[in-house]
Structure 1
Amino acid sequence: MSAAPSFAFDKSYSGFLFDMDGTIINSIAAAERVWGDWARGKGLDVEAFMPTMHGARGVDTIGRLNLPGVDPVAESMLIMEAEIADVEGVVPLPGAIEFLASLPPERWAIVTSSPHRLALARLAAAGIPVPRFIVTAEDVKIGKPDPQCYILGAERLGLRPSDCLVFEDVMAGIRAGESAGADVMVITATHSHPVDTNHPTLLNYENVRAHVDGDGGISVMRRDG
């Protein structure tokens, strides 16, 4: 695979759109505890199932399984309540709190596949203030990889997706950002194996800072740059 391009470090944007789980917080341990218990209870191959549940709405993940007698809406509600109750080990990615705090509050949003109540619980557990703008599972009819979540996120900022940089960590979200017409930065901190992507990547936010230029454009700058 060719080296990832550096365009996101070379241009400014009108807004930033952040996925939540795996992108600004690490909630993998908590999510996999809850989803692992659910999958075992349904007789699924847990090891094979786990990679399929990251980055998508719970109702979509369950619906794709087509399990006999299983109502995706009802099951996803039960899982949501279990996830809200279990936020042990949910932490911010290194540098994320400082990076987000340095952004103009009207120029960024969280765009997550998590339900609203779960998003609030995990942000609180990670010590990240709720942003002015947030798009959650309930706000869209079709979840990632469909682009409508990022289109809506940009609209809430009063922008076009092409004016925004999307921060993502899994393929469903990356494809959603691409399809919306936005540039994408891939965060790799929580990956157990390399992400096969041609987008620029960041491990976390420790070695970058947000820069706002004289025209109001926001860019990601390396701290040594």
Structure 2
Amino acid sequence: MADGFHAGRTFGAFLFDMDGTIVNSLAVVNRVWSAWARKHNVADVEEFMRTMHGIRAVENIRRLGLPGIEIEREAEAITIAEMEDVDGILPIEGALAFLSALPEGRWAIVTSAIRELALKRLAAAGLPVPRVLVTAEDVAHGKPAPDCFLLAAERLGVPIGDCLVFEDAPAGIKAAEAAGAAVAVVTATHSHVLETPHPSFADYGRLSLVANEPDGLRFGRAA
């Protein structure tokens, strides 16, 4: 990505999705959600699993339109199961070094997980918690609505047009686009090619950060 569309551009702040972007929680998500989908006789479990990433639990359940389902109760049960299972949660390669190099107050995490689950996964992956952490409870409308990214930019005091969003899932990419942010796509957990007009990269291992305060943040190529 450092040689792509965003090369040489300076940003006021970076906004990171969590799961699939800085944290690899794919094993947990697949275990919990596929078991839930089979239990509730979801017609096409494979298709559901392919399209559920990056979306809040309540919205994933609601869009299925399953009869007799208490959406809030099911979402709570799924969240509890996810919090109890941290086996296999890892940082995306290079994420710790990259995040640790960012100036305080110039980055945020914007996730569809609830705050308690987000903190648990960040701790399991050994990643820092930024001053601004926007979670599912903070917005009325989750991704692909732009609310979460707009709120993160507001809390950082940076115009959304000066922010670069790091995302991995279509719902999050659509949310960032709708917000008016630049987008970079992380492909570390992708099993299929994601068609996107945005620059993409596998992980943070080959990226370096140039922090030119107060001018902003930009990329360089790691030696």
What 5-or-longer segments of structure 2 have no aligned partner? none
In structure 2, the residue matched to 1:22 is 20
SS in 1 for 2:87: coil
Return 5+ residue gaps in structure 1 as ranges. Answer: none
Moved runs in structure 1, 4+ residues, more than 6 A? none
> What do residues 99-130 of structure 1 show as CA deviations (whole Å, max 9, x unaligned)?
00000011000000011111011001100121
Counterpart for residue 34 of structure 2: 36
Please give the secondary structure, in 2, of the residue aligned with 1:105. Answer: coil
Give the RMSD, CA atoms, in angstroms.
Answer: 1.1
Q: Tell me, in whole angstroms, the C-alpha distance in 2 between the residues paired with 1:214 and 1:112.
A: 26
Partner of 1:9, secondary structure, is coil
Amino acid at match of 1:14: G
Shift of 1:214: 5.3
SS in 2 for 1:60: helix
The answer on whether the counterparts of 1:55 and 1:173 sit within 8 Å (CA) in structure 2 is yes
Tell me the TM-score normalized by structure 2: 0.96
| 1:182 corresponding residue in structure 2 | 181
For 1:20, the aligned partner's letter is: M
* Equivalent residue pairs, number: 220
The residue identity in structure 2 corresponding to 1:75 is E
Which residue pairs with 1:12 in the alignment? 10
Q: Against the structure 1 CA distance between its residues 215 and 129, is the aligned structure 2 distance closer, same or farther, given a 3 Å change threshold? A: closer
Counterparts of 1:214 and 1:148 in 2: how far apart (Å)?
27
Note the alpha carbon deviations across 1:158-187, whole angstroms, 9 max, x for none.
011101000000110001001100000000
CA–CA distance in 1 between the matches of 2:203 and 2:54? 18
AA of the residue aligned to 2:53:
H
Q: Which moved more, 1:117-126 or 1:43-52?
A: 43-52
Is the Cα contact below 8 Å between 1:18 and 1:24 reproduced in 2? yes
After alignment, is 48-57 or 99-108 more displaced? 48-57
Identity of aligned residues (%): 53
Task: Give 2:108's aligned residue.
Answer: 109
* Residues 146, 176 of structure 1: 8 Å contact kept: yes
- Equivalent residue letter for 1:186: V
